[in-house]
Chain A
Amino acid sequence: MSTNEIIDRDYSRYGFHDADAKYVFQTQKGLSRDVVQAISKFKKEPQWMTDFRLRSLDIFLKKPMPDWGSPMLGDVDFNDIFYYMAPTERGSDKWEDVPAYIKDTFDKLGIPEAEKKFLGGVGAQYDSEVVYHKIRDDLQKKGVIFLGTDQGLQEHPEIFKEYFGTVIPPEDNKLAALNSAVWSGGSFIYVPKGVEVDIPLQAYFRINAKNAGQFERTLIIADEGSKVHYIEGCTAPIYSSDSLHSAVVEIIAKKGAYVRYTTIQNWSNNVYNLVTKRAYAYEGATVEWVDGNIGSKLTMKYPSVYLLGKGAKGEVISIAFAGKGQHQDAGAKIFHFAEDTTSRITSKSVSKDGGRTTYRGQLHIERGALNSKSSVRCDALLVDEKSRTDTYPYNTINEESASTTHEATVGKISEEQLFYLMSRGLSEADALNMIVMGFLDVFSKELPMEYAVELNRLIQLEMTGSVG
């Protein structure tokens, strides 16, 4: 079977693209000061943001590519990408205002339906711009802000300026600098003191254009004692040339706040997915990253939590699924900077058809972070002999009263497991799928039901063709 056939089948539901998409504004291919200024000007940004972008561009140009991670990283051609493509003048909170072809796209992906059923708010981004954003009235009345990040900058400049770029400054790494220079779209969320958002807020990111880059920038601020769960999903159609997705996500969880951030990324297999995600958790706050990586050509992503206040908690639960030609280099980073902080990392990866998964994790416990506790568990499952998995844990434990555990396993699907399930009537494909879903169960049980069902379906699609 040729690669194309496999890919086409795997992404039948996501692989379509709109040939008649129209862009009201787009920059020329490649990156320059002119491009960055054009983006900022088109968005009518305040001067400080234009300056921030230009400073970030300088940092991007100066910084070398990371010399670790995947060898595929060297294949990214930064000059072959459209950095900004705006499908509409301005995002809307009325579904009717969204251009018909974009509505079609999100209809096919089931977004408006999901909003009606089980979401407190929805955002939809198409290439560079957020085209739709809506939050439930009662949440809005309580002062919850859920906007596209550009709108956030326009409508809430004070909050925005106070936090933007504070968790992940452009100096952090080359790709964060790139995002800082050309960012567009993403979600801006502010939850006031003591407000609990009881059902998830969701954003959906779609790359449509060929050679497009998507550089959304998400900023979530959960004020003291508040609670919020944000979910994002992402897809792109199949093209023969590569796309780049390089997001930055910053989360600030103030004293006693709770933030959960759930992602299911299902990019097509020609997308480089190079993302920086980091959260600050202050005293007694909890931040949880629930991070699913199914698609993309290369993913490098290590959601991190800085535990900055006494009793703060951080958790990262992630899965990675690498099929033919894919490399999922993913993991987590936790930094304990305060006493009585706890963290847990659970990582599961599946490799098949020569795919490669890498767990890369960092655990740092600062001297003086008394009685910190951390546990790390990473399990890899190899579906066949061709596939590969590696584990790179980096630990610096500088506090004697800390307690940490680390467990790592590599497993294979055994003939006995397959025979057992088949003897009960399951076909070989269903049996394989069941074993893989069971392996990923610690992750999928964390998802809202609709997402768990969708994940199951995606894994099933990925597993077809692995029999025989």
Chain B
Amino acid sequence: MSSELSIKDLKVNIEGKQILKGINLDVKQGEIHAIMGPNGSGKSTLSYSLMGHPKYQITGGEVKVDGTDVLSLTPDKRAKLGLFLGFQYPVEIPGVRLGNFLRIAYNAVHSDNQLSPTKFFRLLKEKVNALGIDENFIGRSLNEGFSGGEKKRAEVLQMAVLQPRFAILDETDSGLDIDSLKVVANAINTMAGPDVGLILVTHYQRLLQYITPQFVHVVVDGRIVKSGGKELAKELEEKGYDWLREPAITN
């Protein structure tokens, strides 16, 4: 049976200011959803709130995975439940080697099916090769001195290794040149499949030239103002967001 991530009327404040004003969204394993919207609409807030960043204060609504409440859990418990966040700006953690870190993370997330170092590194190598990533990555300090493209690739690699049920990829396409974008998009496509529900959060349509979502949602001013199929993304590219903004305000 496939799992479902269900977001109902989610309201979130940052430092007392309301950013999300009631988000509703259901994502099933195997689906690809794109969340689009102008800057400042609350897209990243949605990403961080789903993963449990302490700065984001939940003021209403609920988030559940197959009926299990997510919002009361710390980020590590959410990861164990099968959530993953691909960061827009992954933070550097000096001296922590990507490979070792991922092994500990893997065994934390899959605590009932832990892998020995040998088995884990076999899995890691397999993923690294499948995603077309340089093997040297494994021994490098986590995100330290990584280029923009390398950081995003490392995020996708982590997703591939940790095998979440639901992955939120926050602005994964930002700051990438066209070659890096293709590599990252290709990696995401390799990952996509019946076992993962993907939420691609993006400002531009260009990532969606390489990855085809079944659903596109537009967030404006803290609400989903329009949902549709992949053709909606094209329409947004042509018309921009303003035509959606007006009704949201007058309503």
Chain A interface (Cβ < 8 Å from any Cβ of B): 414-417, 419-428, 430-431, 434-435, 437-442
Q: Among the listed A414, A415, A423, A431, which residue makes an inter-chain contact with B51, where contact means beta carbons less than 8 Å apart?
A: A423
Q: Among the listed B52, B95, B105, B141, which residue makes an inter-chain contact with A424, where contact means beta carbons less than 8 Å apart?
A: B105
> B80: CB under 8 A from chain A?
yes
Q: Among the listed B90, B94, B95, which residue makes an inter-chain contact with A420, where contact means beta carbons less than 8 Å apart?
A: B90
Q: In the complex, A414→B93 CA distance in Å?
A: 10
Give the nearest-CB partner of A348 in chain B: B95
Give the nearest-CB partner of A436 in chain B: B95
User: Would A425 and B96 count as touching, CB distance under 8 A?
Assistant: no
From residue B110, how far is it (CB to closest CB) to chain A in Å? 9
Contacts A419-B75, A420-B87 given; indicate if A426 touches B108 (C-beta within 8 A).
yes
Q: In the complex, A425→B87 CA distance in Å?
A: 15
Q: In the complex, A169→B80 CA distance in Å?
A: 60
Give the nearest-CB partner of A445 in chain B: B95
B141 — which chain A residues lie within 8 A by C-beta?
438, 441
Q: In the complex, A427→B54 CA distance in Å?
A: 14
Q: In the complex, A67→B79 CA distance in Å?
A: 54
A425 — which chain B residues lie within 8 A by C-beta?
76, 79-80, 105-106, 108-109, 162
> B85: CB under 8 A from chain A?
yes
Pairs across A and B, CB under 8 Å, 18 listed: A417-B91, A417-B93, A419-B75, A421-B93, A422-B74, A423-B51, A423-B75, A423-B76, A423-B78, A425-B76, A425-B105, A425-B162, A427-B76, A427-B108, A428-B76, A439-B94, A441-B95, A441-B96
Q: In the complex, A420→B142 CA distance in Å?
A: 11
Q: In the complex, A416→B75 CA distance in Å?
A: 12
Contacts A426-B76, A441-B94 given; indicate if A419 touches B108 (C-beta within 8 A).
no
Give the nearest-CB partner of A415 in chain B: B54
Give the nearest-CB partner of B76 in chain A: A422
Contacts A439-B94, A442-B95 given; indicate if A430 touches B104 (C-beta within 8 A).
yes
B85 — which chain A residues lie within 8 A by C-beta?
423
User: Would B158 and A424 count as touching, CB distance under 8 A?
Assistant: yes
B51 — which chain A residues lie within 8 A by C-beta?
419, 423
User: Would B91 and A414 count as touching, CB distance under 8 A?
Assistant: yes
User: Would A423 and B94 count as touching, CB distance under 8 A?
Assistant: no
Q: Among the listed A415, A435, A440, which residue makes an inter-chain contact with B93, where contact means beta carbons less than 8 Å apart?
A: A435
Interface centre among A415, A417, A438 (most CB of B within 10 A): A438
Beta-carbon contacts under 8 Å, B77-100 to A:
78-80, 84-85, 87, 90-91, 93-96
B16-59: CB near A (< 8 Å → 1, else 0) gives: 00000000000000000000000000000000000111110000
Chain B interface (Cβ < 8 Å from any Cβ of A): 51-55, 74-76, 78-80, 84-85, 87, 90-91, 93-96, 101-102, 104-106, 108-109, 141-142, 158, 162
A415 — which chain B residues lie within 8 A by C-beta?
54-55
Q: In the complex, A432→B32 CA distance in Å?
A: 34
The list of the 4 closest CB pairs from A to B, nearest first, reads: A441-B95, A438-B95, A438-B96, A425-B108
From residue B142, how far is it (CB to closest CB) to chain A in Å? 8
From residue B172, how far is it (CB to closest CB) to chain A in Å? 15
User: Would A419 and B53 count as touching, CB distance under 8 A?
Assistant: yes
A419 — which chain B residues lie within 8 A by C-beta?
51-54, 75
User: Would A424 and B109 count as touching, CB distance under 8 A?
Assistant: yes
From residue A453, how far is it (CB to closest CB) to chain B in Å? 13
User: Would A424 and B79 count as touching, CB distance under 8 A?
Assistant: yes
B84 — which chain A residues lie within 8 A by C-beta?
423
Give the nearest-CB partner of B86 in chain A: A423
B158 — which chain A residues lie within 8 A by C-beta?
424
From residue A447, how far is it (CB to closest CB) to chain B in Å? 14
From residue A85, how far is it (CB to closest CB) to chain B in Å? 41
A440 — which chain B residues lie within 8 A by C-beta?
95
Give the nearest-CB partner of A431 in chain B: B76
Q: In the complex, A435→B96 CA distance in Å?
A: 7
Give the nearest-CB partner of A379 in chain B: B94
B75 — which chain A residues lie within 8 A by C-beta?
419, 422-423
From residue A292, how far is it (CB to closest CB) to chain B in Å? 15
User: Would B93 and A424 count as touching, CB distance under 8 A?
Assistant: no
User: Would B104 and A434 count as touching, CB distance under 8 A?
Assistant: yes
B74 — which chain A residues lie within 8 A by C-beta?
422, 428
Q: In the complex, A416→B109 CA distance in Å?
A: 20
Q: In the complex, A125→B158 CA distance in Å?
A: 48
A442 — which chain B residues lie within 8 A by C-beta?
95
From residue A405, how far is it (CB to closest CB) to chain B in Å? 19
Q: In the complex, A415→B76 CA distance in Å?
A: 14
B90 — which chain A residues lie within 8 A by C-beta?
420
From residue A378, how far is it (CB to closest CB) to chain B in Å? 15
From residue B50, how far is it (CB to closest CB) to chain A in Å? 10
Q: In the complex, A416→B95 CA distance in Å?
A: 16
